[in-house]
Each structure stands twice: as structure tokens, then as C-alpha cells.
Structure 1
Amino acid sequence: MLDFKIFIVEDDKWYGNLLEHYLSQNPDYEVTLIGSGKECLAQLHRKPDLITIDFGLPDMNGEELYRKIKQAQPNVPVIIISAQEKITTAVDLLKMGAEDYLVKDENTQQLLWKAIIRLRENQSLKNEITQLKAELKTRYDYSISIVGKSPALQAVFRLIDKAAGSMINVSITGETGTGKELVAKAVHYNSARSGHPYVAVNMAAIPKELVESELFGYEKGAFTGAQNRKIGRFEEANGGTLFLDEIGEMDLNIQSKLLRVLQEKELIRLGGNSKIKLDFRLVVATHKNLADEVKKGNFREDLYYRIVGLPIALPPLRERKDDLLLLTQFFLSNYCKENKIPEIRVSPAGREKLLTYNYPGNIRELKSVIELAAVMSENNIIEPDDITFLSGNNHDVDTVLNTELTLREYTRLIIRNYLKRYNDNVLLVAEKLDIGKSTIYKMLQTGEIEGA
């Protein structure tokens, strides 16, 4: 099917036929040869995708025709083809918005072919960007991305609205699995900075010795192994939003450097001398109580007051039982769409079982429970026996222990489970399991275990 209409406006019929024949070799092009400017204007109702015009037409010159085309259809691209190389005319037309200016010679056909390909690629890219922006806007629409109608969640929505309408720093607190990063994205993509970068950094997932270079970047030769310049996360977020997840795990030394960046709005890369100006909005998240961490001496008081900004506390799922069945349906619908299977429902008895559990892993745990139940269900209905709770379930523990594994395999299984439960927070998992964090980092680096 022809999908790209090209008007060739050319009074030299032989040359026009040459261009028409050449471009028609692409079966996607519908090429129309037009002999005058007036005829071109009369056919604009056909909505061409591209117009090439001869600058020396008998009834009007190229500039006059160009202006009239743009008045009628401002978005249609126009390529000027001239018998003479008039630099000043070419520059003027290109400044007015002409797509290209080609001189008639032995290379014109090939240059026109390439210009059309480039034009279509650029148009495709613009359409893709427009579509992605629309998807992002939809994706982070509160009613779609953050599911729930409970009073506790409505209070969170009101705070997100206030945060999105200002440039104030935002601090998000809540238990693991309550959706802190989703809220951070909602703030960014509904703010005036939505067209700029959103950069997320999980402080708990970066080894202490790499944090500074990750955040600040470095110059070539700054240290052994620094073979090229690296842009840090602060610079990546310039103009947009920097989200520092699990900021409560940040080392005190890095805290002081972060404070300086926030105060001065500038940084110096490791190994460099030049000051780099910054403009970003900071959003932080933690499962810890930072005020308590300040009292314990684990977090700088001056940094705490600098980053707290607008605090948003996310309620645990056990305090949102009104939303639990809505979330269940949301996860089930997504699961069925992704797997291209018929709709799955939860029986009344199944809903009762879901409502009796406290979900220590919060929304992330509920999602895992529902997806597993969908796999186990028969006849597209989830019954109580299909529902397995993943935390504190003795039956599941017995099943694992009755499986013959090596100690190393059990270790991998336990660490992988904890990383999934605690959102790849290596320091927290090391603390919970009472093992060295280097053990976990090494297993992640070697691929012996994978993060959540």
C-alpha cells in the first residue's frame, strides 16, 4: 500500500519525468508530477507528505510558492531544486524552514533520494518521541500507575500533586515494597522537568569504594583504570530529577560531599579542576527513620534538613486493605495481558484468604503472590489452595529443606530470596543475614546470584 505522497513541481517535463521515474522505484512512494505552482496549490487538499519545487517556475518563483504552501499546510516538508547555485537564496529558504536546497546536476537524483530517506527517518523518530511522551504521561497518571482509593493513598496523591507543582526536594519514606520509586517517578513525570532526565541511583546497591566516582564522575587518568572520562549521575540528571534510593545507607563522607553539591549547585569530577554547574531536583527515599539516624550519629543533621523538603510517607499494605482487591485485579489483568491468556478471576473464598494476610513484603509481595496463584489456578479461577504466601510460610520452608542441595546452593537461594524481598539492598540483606556485604557483592559480580 502506498503510504508516502510526493509532489514534484517541475515545468521541465523531461526532467520531471526523470525524477518521477527514479523515485517511483520505491513502491512505498506515490509520486505525482505537477507542472506549475498554481496546480500544486490546487492539489494541496490531497495532503502530500513531501513537495519538491523547482525554484524557476514560469508562473511564480520558488520563494513565493514556498510561502503559499506553508500558509496552507505549515507542516509539510519542502525541498527546493534549482538550476543555479544561489547561496544567498538557499540560505534564506533554509532559514525560512525549507527541508533542503538541491542544485540540478548529475547528483541531484541521488541527493534527493537520500534527503527523502533522512526526512522519513527524522519523522519516524519524532513520531516515536511523541508516542513515548504520551506513554510516559499515561504510565504515571496517578489513577493508572498507583492503584488504590483508600484514604491513606488519597493523602499521598495530594502530596504528589503539591510536589509535582513545585521544585522543592522530596523525601519518600516507607517499608520495602510500598512503591517509593513509583512515587518518585510520578513526581518527576508530572512536573515541569518531565521532559528532562530522570536518573535513579540505589545507594545500597553500590559498593562504598565506588559511590564517589558513580555520583561525581571522573576525568581520564584520575586513578588506575580510569582510561576515559566518565560522567557522574549528578551530571546525568542535569535539568531533570535525581532519585537517590535508600539514602540512609550513604556513607558519612559522601554525605558531606552531597551537602556541598546541594549548597553550591556545582561539582568537580574526580581528578579534575573545572567546576560544573548543576540544576537538578532531588528526590530521596529510605525505609529508615532519618531523624532517628541523625540522633544515632549515622546521618548528618545539616544534610537531613537540606533533603527532607516535602516528606511523603507511604502506608504499608496492611493499612490499605481497602486497596488490596483493587491491586489484586490490577496485577491479574496485567499478568493475563502479558501472557496473552483469558481473564482470570479470584473466587470469593480466595478473596477472603487474601484479606487475612498482612503482607510484610507489601505491594511487591502481593504481586508475586497473585502471579504465582494465577499459574497454579485451574479453569481461570483462583481458589484458596492456589494462594501461597511467600513470607513466614512453614510449608514452603519444609519444601525447600526437603530438597537435597549443597550448603552453597542453600546460601545462594537464601541470599537471592532476601535480595528480592529487600529490593537489592545489599547492606540491609547483609545485616539481616549477619554476613559480610563483600560476600554478596562478589556473588553478584560473578553472576553466581542475580539481583531482583
Structure 2
Amino acid sequence: MKVFVVEDDPWYSKLLTHTLQLNQNFEVTTFGDGKSLLEHLKEGPDLVTLDFRLPDYTGAEIFEKIKSFNSNIEVVIISEQQDIDTAINFLKKGAFDYLTKSEDIRDRLIHVINQLQKNKDLVQKVETLQQEVATKYDFQSSIIGHSPEMKKVFRLIEKALPTNLTVTISGETGTGKEVVAKTIHYSSARAKEPFVPVNMGAIPKDLAESELFGHEKGAFTGAAERRIGKFEQAKNGTLFLDEIGEMDISLQAKLLRALQEKEITRLGGNETIKVNSRVIVATHRNLQEEIKKGNFREDLYYRLFGLPISLPPLRERDKDVIILAKHFASSFAKENQQPEKSLSKAAQQKLLSYSYPGNIRELKSVIELAMVLSDQDEILPEDITFAQKDVLPDVLSEEMTMKEYQLKIIKLYLKRHDDNIKVVADKLDIGQSTIYRLLKENPVL
């Protein structure tokens, strides 16, 4: 750390300099007046110890000039006067501490130095962590896949980054909705602000309002103290509302108002609190269907809609399965300090033959278990265990007519794709009329 000592008393200047130089990490420079200090501010000191009375400037004048030049420079005021009002005034304006020229000034200055060093180390750790997280969630590296479906997702994420639009991420459980939300946050201008996730499906109905908006002391039985809600915690960052479709309809009106007015009121309070967080929501439900059922407000749906990003299930991502599998195998090896293992061709074929009802989350578990079970330098088919038995491999084990085989496969695909006949027709490369006809002719089979 670079430290400037500003002191016109030669004896005190030597005392302060000697005390500071006890810390080998400090590079100390001394100045006898305010003018010479101001001429050297461009050298970028981390700390200035400032005599309250100087021959050419008052301490208050120099303090203002230092903070105007760079508000990040820490200033410790050193004065002959033990004036509480003056000390409080300096501390309010951003001084790190106020010390009086007394017998114990050396001990007090050493204490200040230690505290300052701890603060600086903490700031550096936070900045390093932010950089690591931002790197982790850079969407070019955190969201893996080369399939056409994922390229569409990448394009939409790029559109989301420079805006403050609400983003609605939809997709089956396990498709990576929170990863996409974090990627948008940590790749945007809000990256250094908080990312606050809330799983609406995991919060009891009677606690959800307090969780989002906070509460005042005594707002309800058990509210022993004020609590800051998730909206306030997010500040200028991102509030991620996962499983928004699970939110109780009585709370949806309050969420709508918070989004429209950009302000909230804590439960049991009267104070209006401005909020400036970006909102990203996610759901595995079809919200339009939930509106028809009366479970979701239509006005909230249109307020949230913003930029929609739909994540494809893993079964629709073709060779992305192998890319992801190799990534999970490599990550597991590094995290557990184990040798890397490749995927045999037969193992790759087995992975591609499965439909992954649990999507990416399930594939990750399958690969991690395979890494543990494998006794060789590559993963073999027998190392791969699926939690759910897939129907498709068993279809050919039965003796059926070609029409029966067709119908069996069609029904399997309809189950996978939520009875969406258009999607199934595209996947199987047949006409929709063929599917309707086979289903009509064989309603029971």
C-alpha cells in the first residue's frame, strides 16, 4: 500500500512515518504542507494521514480536495484537538478514522492500519470472487452446446444483455434455467451487484410475502425484528424468481404492483421503498394454460413476458448430450483430483439412446456415477446406469406388426413431447394426418 503522511511538525512526521513503516507492505512518503501533497495525488496513494492544521490549508479543505480527486483514497485525520463534533463531521464525510495527538497514538495508528489492511484484503477477495463468478457464467463457456436449438438460446441471451427487460425462461425441470439467469446477470452491466435467487415453489404460502418484500418488527407473531426482503437485497442487481408459476395468486397482485411502480412496502410497514433490480423469472409450467385454469394473473403474465427464452429438453439437443457428458466427466475428475476418462463409442451410443426425463441434471448425475464405477481409463456402457428405464429400447423386443410398431413409437414420442402432434410429426418426419389416423384407428393399443 502507498501511504502519504501530511504533517508540518518534523517530530510527529518522523513518529508517524516510523510507525507506518513497521508494516513492510507500506510504502511511505512524507509532505510538510497541503500544496506538495496535492501536487503528488496523481501518484495514487491508498492512504493519507492528514494533519488537521497545516500552514497553507485547513484539514477540511485538503480532505475535500483529496476526496474530490479520488473518493477511494482513505484518509485518517490526525489532530491536536479532541473535538467530538469535528470528528463526527469528518467520519460522516468519509474519513476512515480521526486520531488525536496523544501518548497512545502509535498503538491507535497501528490498530487503524490493521483494520485498513483487513478491509482492503476483503475488498480484493470480493473483487476476485466477482471476477471468478463472472468468468464461470460467461455464456460462451457456461452454457454448453452446438445444436441449432441452443444457438437460438445464445442469440436471445445476447439480446438480453444490454437491456433491462424482464426475461422469462421456460423449460422442463433440469434444463438449466438458473444457469441461464446467472449468465445473463454476470454478463450484464449489473454483474457487480447482487444476484438474488428465490424459489417460489419452496416457500410456504404464508411466508412468501415476507420473503419477497420483508417485514417490520411486530408485523406478525414471531416477527421479533425487521427483515429485509429479497427485492431490497437485490438492490441494483438481479432478482431471480424461479418457479414463478407456483406463486400464490393472492401475492401476484403485489408482485405486479412492485414491478410496475418499482417500489415496495415491507409487511407491517408504511414506508415506500424504491427498488431498481432487474427481474428474471423461470417456470416449467405453461403459464398460458395456468391463466385459463385461473391460477395465474393475465396482467402479470404480460408484465413479466418481456424477453422469452425457451430452453429445449436434452432429448431434442442431439449430439449436445456427448459434449455435455465429456464436460461433466472432465469437471468431476478435476474436482475430485482423479485422472481424466474418455467415453467409449459404445458408451456414447448408450447415452444417445436415452430420453433424459431429468434433462441436464440427470445426465450430470449419470456421468458422475459412471466416473466412480469405471475401473478403466474410459467409461464403458456397463458403467452407465439410468435411474428410469427408457421405453424405446424395449420396443423392438416385442413381436408386433409394422403398424403396431409405428403406433408404439408415436405414443412414446407423444408422451415425451407433451402430446404436441406437430413436434412429433417433425421429429419422426411424417405427416400430422398419419398420426391422427393411427390414433383414431387404434384408440386402445
Q: Secondary structure at the match of 1:282?
A: strand
Partner of 1:109: 106
Q: Which residue of 1 aligns with 2:217?
A: 220
The question of whether the paired residues in 2 share the 8 Å contact of 1:328 and 1:370 is answered with: yes
Q: Which residue of 2 aligns with 1:100?
A: 76
Contact 1:193 1:239 in 2 (8 A): yes
Give the secondary-structure state (helix, strand or coil) at the position aligned to 1:166: coil
**1:129 aligned to 2:116?**
no
In 2 relative to 1, CA 388–9 (structure 1 residues): closer, same or farther, beyond 3 Å? same
Q: In the alignment, residue 48 of structure 2 is paired with which amino acid? A: V
1:284-323 correspondence runs (5 A):
284-323=281-320
- The letter for the 1-side match of 2:65 is M
CA contact (8 A) 1:9 1:51 kept: no
Which of 146, 154, 158 is matched with 2:143 structurally?
A: 146
- Please tell me whether residue 367 in structure 1 is matched to residue 364 in structure 2: yes
**Given the alignment, which residue of 275, 278, 285 partners 2:275?**
278
Identity rate, percent: 51
Where structure 1 has 5 or more consecutive residues not aligned to the other structure, the ranges are 31-48, 56-61, 395-452
Q: Which residue of 2 aligns with 1:77?
A: 47
Structure 1 residue 120 displacement after superposition: 1.8
Alpha-carbon distance in 2 for matches of 1:87, 1:10? 12
Distance across 2 between alignment mates of 1:208 and 1:122:
40
Contact 2:139-2:187 within 8 A present in 1 as well:
no
Please tell me whether the aligned partners of residues 51 and 77 of structure 1 are also in contact (alpha carbons under 8 angstroms). no
Q: What is the identity, as a one-letter code, of the residue corresponding to 2:63? A: L
Q: 1:122 to 1:262 in 2, by over 3 A?
A: same
Is residue 38 of structure 2 the alignment partner of residue 67 of structure 1?
Answer: yes
Instruction: Give the aligned residue type for 2:167.
Output: V
**In 2: Cα distance, 1:261 partner to 1:368 partner:** 39
Is it true that 1:350 corresponds to 2:383 in the alignment? no
Aligned-partner Cα distance in 2 for 1:215–1:287: 21
The alignment's TM-score, normalised by the length of structure 2, stands at: 0.74
Distance 1:127 1:163 in 2: 29
Structure 2 unaligned residues grouped into runs of 5+: 67-72, 80-100, 392-445
> What TM-score does the superposition give when structure 1 sets the normalisation length?
0.73
Q: Displacement of 1:25 after TM fit?
A: 5.3
Number of the residue aligned with 2:58? 89
**Cα distance in 1 for residues equivalent to 2:297 and 2:105:** 67
Secondary structure of the residue aligned to 1:391 is coil
Give distance in 2, aligned partners of 1:195 and 1:146. 20
Q: 1:368 to 1:282 in 2, by over 3 A?
A: same
Q: Is the 8 A contact 1:50 1:78 kept in 2?
A: no
Q: CA deviation at 1:362?
A: 0.5
Distance 1:65 1:136 in 2: 42
- Superposed CA deviations along residues 38-57 of structure 1, whole A, max 9, x for unmatched, are xxxxxxxxxxx4425252xx
Cα offset, 1:262, TM superposition:
2.1
Give the SS at the match of 1:96.
helix
Counterpart residue number, 1:179: 176
TM-superposed CA distance for 1:21, in Å, is 5.9
